[in-house]
Amino acid sequence: MKGVLWLAWRQQRAMITTGLVLLAGVAAWAAYTRSEMTTLIDDYGFVPCKGWNGGCESLGSFLVLDASTGPIRTLGTLGLALPALIGVFWGAPLLGRELESGTLKLALTQGVSGRRWFAARFGLAALFAVLASGIVAALVAWWWAPVSNTLDGLYWYDAYIYNATGPASVACALFGLAAGTAIGLLVRRTLPAMAVTFAAIGTAGLLARALRTGWIAPETRITPGMTPKTPVGSAWSTGEFGYLTSDGREHDINTPVCQTSGEELRQCMAEHGFVARYHKVYPSSDFWTFQWIETALYLGLATVLVALVLYVLRRPAATARAAATTTAARPATATTRTAAGV
């Protein structure tokens, strides 16, 4: 390791070493606590009842879920917060501290292009961001798997699971790093850049959550007549359900009709011409569709932000080299004048 890569390592080794130690600690804690969960599963005969299907509740199931849901949620919270942590504490100071301290111009006058210097620093940070987010995502998925989508436990669409597992969590970490780096370059002061980065990443996460259900159409489950409705199971309910007429028109459940059951429900449906009930849900298989859509969005945003950084860096690099050339030329001019006896 030498040149700009060696310099990038030297400047970031404390952060990388600390991060690796913390990751090792988190992995050890997750492995130990998960082993306690599997012991409870063996001791109490846990029944992996997927979804809210009913009929398979047991004391063992509730004991296992009660003991495991909290710790899994804690690890999921770390995965949820990791992009913001990387962006705030690594991305924002990556260039922001260099600009604030004035060492950026010095770095760009050492015969190294701005792009090469930035690529070494950002590339090393990006490598660790992928490693850290990938490890946390794998730990969450591994720990959650035996009790996934079970009874009143954690489901695939819960933020603690969705945002902490899958490729979108890794892409979001890269986006956080890129956002912090770009904001640090533009704001040029570390602490304000950290605050803006936190707000930006938080806003992006909230927007992704709010817009998610608009990316693909939900599955419409239709129950003819008085037939018992299909259980929601592990699907993500949109909250849209109601009645269908013979011509396929939907009538939302909020309409103040047929809010009963049994014979009264049958009579009410007949009076209003309802022939079936519907319920719109996202099945658990849509997890990967949502994940890949968000992965593409986060990677696209990260690419744009990195391109912006490279564009902005070109002008300061040229200015810094020009200033260095002028400074280097002055002693030579003075020496020439002295030698000439001026």
Of residues 194 and 256, the one with the higher pLDDT is 194
Q: How many distinct structural domains can be found in the chain?
A: 2
Both 183 and 147 in one domain: the answer is: yes
CA gap 79, 161 in Å, rounded? 9
pTM of the model: 0.83
Both 184 and 249 in one domain: the answer is: no
Asked, for residue 106, whether it belongs to a domain, the answer is yes
Both 134 and 252 in one domain: the answer is: no
Taking only the tens place, the pLDDT of each residue in 293-307 is: 999 999 999 999 999
Both 51 and 74 in one domain: the answer is: yes
Both 321 and 190 in one domain: the answer is: yes
pLDDT band for 230, please (50, 70, 90 cuts): confident
CA gap 13, 21 in Å, rounded? 12
Tell me the average pLDDT of the chain. 83
Which residue carries 């909020």 as its tokens?
254
pLDDT band for 195, please (50, 70, 90 cuts): very high
Both 20 and 161 in one domain: the answer is: yes
Both 273 and 133 in one domain: the answer is: no
Q: Which of 7-21, 31-45, 123-137, 147-161 has the highest mean pLDDT?
A: 123-137
Q: Pick the last residue of a domain from 282, 310, 336.
A: 282
Q: pLDDT at position 99, please?
A: 74
Q: pLDDT at position 110, please?
A: 55
CA gap 249, 268 in Å, rounded? 17
Asked, for residue 340, whether it belongs to a domain, the answer is no
Asked, for residue 278, whether it belongs to a domain, the answer is yes
CB 192 within 8 A of CB 205: no
Of residues 228 and 59, the one with the higher pLDDT is 228
Is the pLDDT assigned to residue 328 strictly greater than 80? no
The amino acid sitting at 138 is A
* Residue span of the structural domain in which 30 resides: 3-214+290-325
Both 22 and 169 in one domain: the answer is: yes
Both 122 and 266 in one domain: the answer is: no
Asked, for residue 207, whether it belongs to a domain, the answer is yes
Give, rounded to a whole angstrom, the gap between the first and last alpha carbons of the chain.
49
Asked, for residue 342, whether it belongs to a domain, the answer is no
Mean pLDDT confidence for 178-182:
95
Asked, for residue 230, whether it belongs to a domain, the answer is no
pLDDT band for 165, please (50, 70, 90 cuts): very high
Both 175 and 48 in one domain: the answer is: yes
Both 31 and 82 in one domain: the answer is: yes
CA gap 104, 24 in Å, rounded? 33
Per-residue HEC secondary structure of 146-214 comes to HHCCECCCCCCCCHHHHCCCCHHHHHHHHHHHHHHHHHHHHHCCHHHHHHHHHHHHHHHHHHHHHHHHH
Taking only the tens place, the pLDDT of each residue in 246-284 is: 888 988 887 767 777 788 888 888 888 899 999 999 999
